[in-house]
Amino acid sequence: MGTVLWLIFTLAAIAACAYALFGAVLLRQFARNTPILGSSRPGLTVLKPLCGAEPGLEANLISFFNQDYSGPLQLVLGVQSPADPAVTVAKGLKELRDIELVVDSQRHGTNGKISNLINILARALHEIVVLSDSDIRVEPQYLQSVISTLLAPGVGAVTCLYYGFSLSGLWSRLSAAAINEHFLPSALIGVRLGLARPCTGATIAIRTDTLRKIGGFEVFADHLADDYAIGEAVRQLGLKVAVAPILVGHGCAETSFGELVRHELRWARTLRLLAPWGYAGLLLTHAMPLALIAAAFGGFNAASWAILALALACRLSIPIQLKALSFGGDALPWLSPIRDLLSFAIFLASFLPSQLSWRGSRYVLRSDGTLGRA
């Protein structure tokens, strides 16, 4: 039995090695994409739901002001309490740009971000809205590339894949590594092979008439993965959710191990619920842990050590590739094996029943992807 298990986990580790190399190649190709810069510049409204003065918030918002976009542009920021620290940040930025700040405490469901979006959408002046999470930072060509993608025939919404960048110490570096070394390569492989249909909170650009056809934001007021649900609703109209040929940055600001684990477990359990078979297939993305398990069954013989070395080399190809890219300054190859082991532990723990922690509140995730108060 030990020999059989050694063989099974060895083959799984080799498959994970090939997966890692494929991800590194796609990462390099995608990073070399040229943003789409069409000539059409329709009016658009950027919606930013805020909650708290998270680290890097000012720089994130400023990046949306500094856009190479000559069309009519409106920026609407929203909070749900006048005491929210984000209000101070937003008011300070009014000196740099004509922005509108909406303070509205009305709740429309358990998802606070969607409640915020419902409240601020009424202020939108243009036919296209672009929403993104408050921890997203973008390059100057971002809006033009996203809007040019949206204007292609048959496209109902546009989203962006994202990389992680650290805003503090070790724990935020580990969080960024999870995005850069696991999420991003997996997303690129999924898109290339037609196995993934992403729609992320990093960016959703959508026409207001399309939004009305899917029922508005109100339909998603109780969904945890509201971005995923919006994408699925757009596809049900027979329209495509396109991935813009540009990456945006996701600021990682975790300051403790507990915060890091709670955050990653929440999203791991959400992904498992939304796409159970696809999530189970992520087992074959954990090269190092699979190689270690194979080595344990094989008694750490010469073949086991060779598989371990192969797994390490293949996994390191991703952070090494990241170091060569413009956004890869946070990549630390020596941290990669630790990140792999932690990601595998999160993967296993995600199958255990538990409540979710989100912005200081406890929730129960229902089978349909909606949230209930714990």
> What pTM, to 2 d.p., does this model score?
0.88
Any domain includes 12 = no
CA 239 to chain centroid: 22
CB 287 within 8 A of CB 17: yes
Give 23's DSSP letter.
Answer: H
Residue 307: inside a domain: no
Helical (H) or strand (E) element with 133: none
The answer to whether residue 257 sits within a structural domain is: yes
d(CA 177, CA 246): 19
Q: What percent of the chain has pLDDT over 90?
A: 56
pLDDT at 374: 53
Instruction: Assign residue 203 the CATH number of its domain.
Output: 3.90.550.10
Asked whether residue 67 is assigned to any structural domain, the reply reads: yes
CA distances to 164, 191, 225, 370 from 181, in Å: 10, 16, 22, 29
Reading the block at residue 49, the tokens are: 């739901």
Model confidence over 286-323: pLDDT tens digits? 999 999 999 998 888 888 899 999 999 998 888 888 77
308 falls within a domain: no
For residue 124, the enclosing domain spans: 35-261
With a CB cutoff of 8 Å and minimum separation 6, the contacts of 46 are 64, 73, 74, 75, 76, 129, 130, 131, 132, 143
Residue written as token pair 């040929």: 245
Read off the pLDDT band of 28 (50, 70, 90).
confident
pLDDT reading at 38 higher than 80: no
Write down the pLDDT at residue 92: 87
